[in-house]
Structure 1
């Protein structure tokens, strides 16, 4: 068993004001994504004004936050938020859903691109290549916060997490960091040029691979206590990720067929 490296959840604390690792991780992820998308645009000689790209991220991030919160309320704790609807706006109480956030981010990006007459699928493909950076760093933030830990186990690298009882558990946040962050980014970045002319293909591939990796890690991650296992076999994360894979496979098929006809 490995000792859990207790790290303060904040980098700087000035009275009631804190700069927390979790938020900093996502900020680094968004900034990295922005500059890597600019790099891809320049490399492909595609001109989009910096102001438009910045506003695209504003719409996308706003949609992500709203979608993540509503997704959590709908998918993970519907009964509670139905009885306490105002709590859905209390984001400081925690509770965000990646799947809801993805829907919100795509919706926000689509609305902006439509208003500006920008090729949505082209930009979506470029952004999707960079998303694993934020995902991976976000999982490091979860690890520092000692949240979303894994199931009880006796593997040599198990850890006892604060708030997770006295039994050792899988450090599933690190599994997600590796698969959803390092591995997924490596695959997407490596294949981006091959699929760059197939609009929507990279986005679809991202959706498929994330779904596969998320389903895999969910076998080691502690199920949400208010839901447990659905029908005794699947977690909510696995169910939603299965839908993601189907949607991604359909999108990839459509994209490849459209390219073949062109």
Structure 2
């Protein structure tokens, strides 16, 4: 059979008794699990201690969820505030609406706090978890498929995404198939993850350069994919471009600056991932006292 279109799921919520099981939430959770699992393997291989990625994730994940929701609500406030809107829906994370920019920014703050507690290098930790983060983003995008949201322009391509009438953007009700931007981003992110793993192994990158490549790789893809979208979110363009496109450009330049700075100031890879003695290791002072005794 030749693919004629991609069908959308009939539903994105299942009920286990009174408990709703939402596909969007499951995609986010699965992404987090994969990111922590892969990050743990890479962190230990780099010289870190088992369990530290999970300990730091306890800080990073909640911060990331709050940051992602804040970014979404602030930039798409018309969905929740104003005449005829219900502000309490701004808290309904399970219905979709997480801005990756806010998630990464505030998630990084949480990760920094966790790294300080664990006495490990923040940029080195970022290098270890970067491939897992973008794989998690690839998995999380499937939540948009279940919710029939954030799709692209109408298309007659064989892989056009079928959207039910009640989920079609105003002005596009007469079309039935649209660009599956969730799929484009998923494939792009997996490709970037492969690039990060290859580059890190080939060049032994350190001091945040893998994370910088992640930033550049993701934003390069997000820029052109965002340009395809027709949702009314951030519908007011800035100099002809959507806000998320401008954000992609600015964040890409930040990633490029981080990569160039790191390569110049800290060529090579770190000799240790730690910034101080670990909880069950004797400090330098205690070690000296012991030898003196």
| TM-score between the two structures when normalised by the length of structure 1 | 0.87
Q: Which moved more, 1:130-139 or 1:79-88?
A: 79-88
Say whether residues 1:19 and 2:21 are aligned partners.
yes
Report if the CA contact (8 A) 1:77-1:226 is conserved: no
* Aligned counterpart, 1:109: 111
Secondary structure at 2:21 match in 1 = strand
Whether 2:100 is the aligned partner of 1:91: answer no
Note if 1:142 corresponds to 2:151. Answer: no
Shift in Å, 1:85 = 7.2
CA contact (8 A) 1:129 1:192 kept: no
Q: CA deviation at 1:215?
A: 0.4
- In the alignment of these two chains, the number of paired residues is 257
- SS of alignment partner, residue 219 of structure 2: helix
CA contact (8 A) 1:81 1:87 kept: no
- Give, in whole Å, the separation in 2 of the partners of 1:152 and 1:232: 24
Within 5 Å, give how 1:27-42 maps onto structure 2. Answer: 27-42=29-44
The answer as to 2:29 corresponding to 1:2 is no
Q: In structure 2, how many angstroms separate the alpha carbons of the residues matched to 1:259 and 1:47?
A: 20
Does the 8 Å contact 1:64/1:100 carry over to 2? yes
CA gap 1:177/1:7 in 2 versus in 1, 3 angstroms: farther
CA distance in 1, matches of 2:155, 2:228: 9
The whole-number CA distance in structure 2 between the counterparts of 1:7 and 1:62 is 30
Residue 226 and residue 139 in structure 1: after superposition, are their counterparts in 2 closer, same or farther (change >3 A)? closer
Q: Partners of 2:111 and 2:82 in 1: how far apart?
A: 28
Higher-Rg member (1/2): 2
Question: Is the 2:199–2:205 Cα contact (8 Å) retained in structure 1?
Answer: no
Gaps of 5+ in 1: none
Match of 1:47 in 2: 48
Given that 1:148 and 1:222 are in contact with CA atoms closer than 8 Å, whether structure 2 keeps it comes out as yes
Gaps of 5+ in 2: 270-293
Shift in CA distance, 41/81, structure 1 to aligned 2, threshold 3 Å: same
Q: 1:91 to 1:145 in 2, by over 3 A?
A: closer
Q: In structure 2, how many angstroms separate the alpha carbons of the residues matched to 1:33 and 1:92?
A: 20
Closer, same or farther in 2 for the Cα pair 1:119/1:39, shift >3 Å? same
TM-score by length of 2: 0.79
Q: Deviations over 1:35-65 (max 9, x none)?
A: 2122223323x13241x33221111101110
